[in-house]
Amino acid sequence: MTKHNSAQRSTAIGTWFSTWFKRNILNYQRALCFFAGLAMVVAYAPFSQWYLALFIPSIALFFISNAKPKAAAKLTAIFAFGWFASGISWVHVSIDQFGGLPLIASLMVMLMLCFYLAIFPALAGYLTALFSKENKLDLWLLPPFWLITEYLRASLLTGFPWLSLGYSQIDGPLAVFAPIIGEVGITALVLYINISLVKLFIAIKDNSPASTCWSASTTPLTLLLTLTVNTWYLSSVSWVKVNDKTVKVALVQGNIAQAIKWSPEQEWPTMLKYLDHARANFDADIIIWPESAIPALEPAVQDYLSTVNRSALLNNSAIITGIINYNFETKEYFNSLITLGKKHLDDQQGYYYNHSNRYSKNHLLPIGEFVPFQEWLRPIAPLFNLPMSSFTRGDYQQQNLVANEFHLLPLLCFEIAFPHQLAANLTDKTDLLLTVSNDAWFGGSHGPPQHMEIARMRALEFGRPLLRSTNNGITAVVDHKGEFIARIPQFEEAVLTTEIALVSGQTPYGQFPKLILLFLIIVPLLTVKFLQFSSTSNKKR
């Protein structure tokens, strides 16, 4: 009887301890994953502590290193939810200030977006565990699966590739890899570094004999050493050549408050403001106005556009401005860029309505520029009835804008986050990358600095100087290395003038972005699976 009671007591203690362990230790793991995700925001602009991304994810990776598929997915999702909750919290600014929703509803929309985005890293964690051998998760499989799910995140439902890991490294030593393997490749490198740290920690923790510990540490140490040597070597390599051709530019930051931007009484004061700034800077080859700088439909302001066009022609200058075009025949709106003034040196006409020297935005932003299922969503809340939220897509491939003999590859606002779209429009004649935006929707949040960070990565990947003109910041000029040449502080009305040295040639990534992505996915997958197969075969012998 005593032995029976003792056995029952031991079973009860074991059950209690098991329950306690699941409720506390596992929750402890989840909490650490969540807070590690929250801390990731500091690795990105405006904080730019790039080194944090090289070890913070290893906290979550350590906990999933022995997890089964469902547990791996759950822990990765918790990490990713914290990562997105802090990293894209700026989205809430526009929803709260301009969406017309109650606070609780706007927070719910924000949380739903974070949950959705966390699905993709969670899927990567799940696939990593699922395809590992003998139900033992192999972290080396994570980077290729992560890149697959990141591609899906950038594609499904028009895509939202914001806050990819590689962007955090624009000011770090890994940035030298961008012209070769792009931001997507740097994302893989960040993961490999974190995995190496986890492998080294496990080797030290679990392998007390020095020989065993060294054997388990060989692969991660070799990878880290190889990466260090290549980083040092690539820091002195230039993929494009600076030529003797320069261009003088003037970027106008009007600083028009979003609350009054589309007010009818502000239409002419705004247009006159931009014209005054242009007249004071006609010594520039190209003058850039931001997205929808002219707060009126293009057909309705032909007299004004003709005046600006003639002024630019007389001064041998060109102006590129954002404007909304409306096609009366098809009843379609387009978020556009048009060129006024000189196209070529012998150009005597410049702008005329519906001329071909224009660009219409292709990658529209859901809710802000088009509303999916609008017949159901528009009646729900003002969020789904924002000004200018019924645009039509322009073509995926369009001609570069030509201004004063210079060829500019344009991307409007959110489009700068899609490197494959940029690659599809890059030509040997492309002199400059141009992106214009209106980040007034996001106030003083960290959204605009992150947007600028993404733009800098595009300049580095494709080896072209970049012009970025915005309504209220960050307006900047970036060289082909992704480094600032000049910039204007946010929330100031100002004009940035500078001279830029142009370059010739193309980077490896600029020529083959899709092939490089496939290489980064397929080769590691095949390598890991081959090593797994070899290991299994050796054990059977």
Q: What is the pTM of this model?
A: 0.90
Sequence-ordered alpha helix ranges (H) in 250-349 = 267-279, 302-314
Per residue in 224-245, pLDDT (tens digit) is: 999 999 999 999 999 999 998 9
Q: Which of 361, 415, 461, 481 is catalytic?
A: 361
pLDDT at 425: 97
pLDDT at 216: 64
How far is it, in rounded angstroms, from Cα 81 to Cα 303?
Answer: 51
For residue 502, give the nearest of 486, 484, 479 by alpha carbon: 479
Q: Residue 516 is inside which H or E element, if any?
A: helix 513-540
Residue 539 designated active-site = no
- Is residue 376 very low, low, confident or very high in pLDDT (cuts 50, 70, 90)? very low
How far is it, in rounded angstroms, from Cα 521 to Cα 513?
Answer: 13
Q: Point out which residues pair with 332 in neighbouring strands.
A: 327
Q: Which residue has the tokens 């779209």?
A: 421
Q: Which of 33, 183, 261, 291 is catalytic?
A: 291
Contact 464, 433 (CB under 8 A): yes
Residue 13 tokens, joined? 């203690």
For residue 508, give the nearest of 178, 243, 76 by alpha carbon: 178
pLDDT at 258: 80
Contact 408, 428 (CB under 8 A): no
Residue 361 designated active-site = yes
How far is it, in rounded angstroms, from Cα 254 to Cα 231?
Answer: 41
Is pLDDT at 371 greater than 60 in this prediction? Answer: no
pLDDT at 107: 81
Per residue in 84-94, pLDDT (tens digit) is: 999 998 887 77
pLDDT at 366: 72
Q: Which residue has the tokens 């949040």?
A: 445
Contact 465, 432 (CB under 8 A): yes
Q: Which residue has the tokens 């719910």?
A: 108
How far is it, in rounded angstroms, from Cα 320 to Cα 477?
Answer: 15
Contact 455, 465 (CB under 8 A): no
How far is it, in rounded angstroms, from Cα 335 to Cα 322?
Answer: 8
Residue 291 designated active-site = yes
If one looks up domain 241-506 in CATH, what number appears? 3.60.110.10
By percentage, how much of the chain surpasses pLDDT 70?
86
Out of 251-260, 286-295, 298-307, 367-376, least confident range:
367-376
How far is it, in rounded angstroms, from Cα 277 to Cα 287?
Answer: 9
Domain residue spans of the chain = 17-238+517-540, 241-506
- Is residue 10 very low, low, confident or very high in pLDDT (cuts 50, 70, 90)? low
Q: Point out which residues pair with 401 in neighbouring strands.
A: 408
Per residue in 216-225, pLDDT (tens digit) is: 678 888 899 9
Mean pLDDT, residues 90-114: 78
Out of 34-43, 238-247, 273-282, 528-537, least confident range:
528-537
How far is it, in rounded angstroms, from Cα 129 to Cα 144?
Answer: 13
Is pLDDT at 106 greater than 80 in this prediction? Answer: no
pLDDT at 416: 96
Per residue in 264-312, pLDDT (tens digit) is: 898 999 999 999 999 999 999 999 999 999 999 999 999 999 999 999 9
State whether the Cα torsion 30-33-35-38 is positive or negative.
negative
Q: Which of 33, 150, 342, 413 is catalytic?
A: 413
Q: Which of 201-205, 264-268, 432-436 has the highest mean pLDDT?
A: 432-436
pLDDT at 308: 97
Per residue in 352-362, pLDDT (tens digit) is: 998 999 999 99
Is pLDDT at 516 greater than 90 in this prediction? Answer: yes
pLDDT at 380: 46
How far is it, in rounded angstroms, from Cα 320 to Cα 291?
Answer: 10
How far is it, in rounded angstroms, from Cα 439 to Cα 180?
Answer: 30
Return the DSSP state at 326.
E
Q: Residue 483 is inside which H or E element, if any?
A: none
Residue 210 tokens, joined? 């020095």
Per residue in 144-163, pLDDT (tens digit) is: 999 999 999 999 988 999 99
User: Residues with Cβ < 8 Å from 193, sequence gap 6 or more?
Assistant: 54, 55, 224, 227
Q: Which of 196-205, 270-279, 432-441 has the highest mean pLDDT?
A: 270-279
Return the DSSP state at 442.
G
Contact 482, 457 (CB under 8 A): yes
pLDDT at 348: 85
pLDDT at 433: 98
Residue 37 tokens, joined? 């995700």
Mean pLDDT, residues 50-66: 95
Mean pLDDT, residues 92-98: 73
How far is it, in rounded angstroms, from Cα 484 to Cα 393?
Answer: 31
Three-state SS annotation for 379-440: CCCHHHHCCCCCECCCCCCCCCEEECCEEEEEEEHHHHHCHHHHHHHCCCCCCEEEEEECHH
Is pLDDT at 370 greater than 70 in this prediction? Answer: no
How far is it, in rounded angstroms, from Cα 172 to Cα 193?
Answer: 14
Q: Point out which residues pair with 339 in neighbouring strands.
A: 320
Is pLDDT at 478 greater than 70 in this prediction? Answer: yes
Is pLDDT at 485 greater than 50 in this prediction? Answer: yes
Out of 103-112, 183-192, 289-298, 358-367, least confident range:
103-112
Residue 38 tokens, joined? 């929250």
Burial label for 505, CB within 10 Å (0-12, 13-18, 19+), is middle
Q: What is the mean pLDDT of the chain?
A: 88
pLDDT at 155: 94
Return the DSSP state at 366.
B
- Amino acid 231 reads T
Q: At what angle do helices 57-64 and 26-39 cross, to 10 degrees?
A: 150
pLDDT at 184: 98
Mean pLDDT, residues 471-490: 95
How far is it, in rounded angstroms, from Cα 394 to Cα 261?
Answer: 24
Mean pLDDT, residues 361-366: 86
More confident residue, 369 or 111: 111
Is pLDDT at 465 greater than 70 in this prediction? Answer: yes
Is pLDDT at 507 greater than 70 in this prediction? Answer: yes
pLDDT at 536: 62
User: Residues with Cβ < 8 Å from 342, sequence gap 6 or more?
Assistant: 312, 313, 316, 317, 318, 350, 403, 404, 405
